Amino acid sequence: MPAAARPPRRRGRLPRLTLVLGGARSGKSRYAEQLIEAAGGKPIYIATAEARDAEMRKRIARHRARRGKQWTIVEAPLELAHAIRALDPGGPALVDCLTLWLSNAMLAKRNLVRDCDLLIAALEQSAAPVVAVSNEVGLGIVPDTALGRAFRDAQGILNQRVAEIADRVVLMAAGLPLVLKGEK
């Protein structure tokens, strides 16, 4: 498996909010983890995935093994805004990922407008620097189901809202980062 491009080697302060976008297997998570590790401090991983089947359990186990034991894991498949509001200002946090969180919220028939508003407010007010990972789902074919189209539209709107408030936005393609907004 190829390694994602390394972020800048300088240690130090992360921007208040970084959004890392990309397609499936583009290197988003690995790049985001490297940003957090380069910042120093006690890293926090806010997980939105739920291990609903064997394949997802294996995927989660691979991610955990890659990160190592130094990460504190907070599971927030639905209550993501609450998890972000509860962050300690001392350590950087990685949200992986907004796409699974939105999918979970849709399947749970939550009020997406309210939940997305709460998430945006939590990200804006976070005491800790946050790196959020999200899939860019609007580059492929138009889904053939109403639910698929509703998800694609909701994800696109959420990505736009997070990008608007983010200090840095990075698009990953083939493991390579392209900075769309903020410092390189």
Grouped pLDDT means (10 residues each) for the chain, 184 residues: 50 86 93 94 92 83 80 95 93 95 96 98 96 93 92 97 98 96 86
Verify cis geometry, omega within 30 degrees of 0, for the bond prior to 116. Answer: no
Write down the catalytic residue from 28, 30, 63, 168: 63
φ, ψ for residue 70, nearest 5 deg = -75, -15
Whole-angstrom CA distances from 145 to 56, 111, 140, 142, 155 are 23, 20, 14, 9, 15
Neighbours of 141 (CB within 10 A): 7
As a whole number of angstroms, the distance between CA 100 and CA 102 comes to 5
pLDDT of the residue at 9 = 44
pLDDT of the residue at 3 = 52
Based on the residue annotation, tell me whether 82 is a catalytic residue of this protein: no
Q: What is the edge-to-edge ordering of all strands in the sheet holding 17-22?
A: 72-75, 44-47, 93-96, 130-135, 17-22, 168-173, 176-181
Helix (H) or strand (E) holding 118: helix 112-125
pLDDT of the residue at 62 = 82
Structural domains in the chain, CATH included, are 17-179 (3.40.50.300)
